[in-house]
Structure 1
Amino acid sequence: MQKIKLTETIKIDGISIAELTLRRPKVRDRLAVERLGTNDAEKEVALIANLADIPKDAVEELDLADYAKIQEALQGFLLPLNPTT
């Protein structure tokens, strides 16, 4: 899991959220968003919503700087846990 501190808080069900916790994605998460058949941006929003356990419309309210931090975290999940050189 990775915590991302938000620059701009978002509201979910009237509660201000200043930090999101993303769990590591699994293959089933990737398959679930692929089944949506939408464009890549919408698939990414759906994946983030699923990993952070928040509604998709909350992801859409994120500041772009915060969204970029989350995208960076997603990319980090794709790297090996124990890289070998």
Structure 2
Amino acid sequence: MEIIQLTHPVQHDEKTIKELEIRRPKVRDHIWLEHQESSALREGKRLADVEKDHKLYARLTDVPEEVIGKLDMQDWGKLRKFYLGCVTPSVSSDQKTETD
């Protein structure tokens, strides 16, 4: 878990949110996201990448999607930086994966 201090706090349910606690993503989170995308497709909708990120960040911070939607782009960038740091392989990793 990491605490992300919001440069621009947001209001939600008469509360000021000044920080978000975010956890590292798990494989199950990506499976869940695939299910969300499949569900949208069945309804004739396509989720844009930013919408998928929006849903995932809400899940990883355990806040309503509405809170994530209110974030300033600078604070969104902090969430994105944390997430990308979790899913980017280290430079020293030379192992091949099944998708390489």
**TM-score if structure 2 supplies the norm length?**
0.75
The alignment covers a number of residue pairs equal to: 84
Consecutive unaligned residues in structure 1, runs of 5 or more: none
Give the Å deviation of 1:2. Answer: 1.2
Secondary structure, counterpart of 1:36 in structure 2 = helix
Is the Cα contact below 8 Å between 1:4 and 1:69 reproduced in 2? yes
Structure 2 counterpart of 1:23: 23
Structure 2 counterpart of 1:41: 50
Give the Å deviation of 1:39. Answer: 1.8
Identity of aligned residues (%): 36
Question: Which structure 2 residues correspond to residues 1-85 of structure 1 after superposition, within 5 A?
Answer: 1-37=1-37, 38-79=47-88, 84=92
Alignment RMSD, CA only? 1.7
**TM-score if structure 1 supplies the norm length?**
0.87
Q: Runs (4+) of structure 1 moved beyond 2 Å?
A: 82-85
AA aligned opposite 2:35: R
**Cα separation, 1, equivalents of 2:48 and 2:77:** 18
Query: Larger C-alpha radius of gyration, 1 or 2?
Result: 2
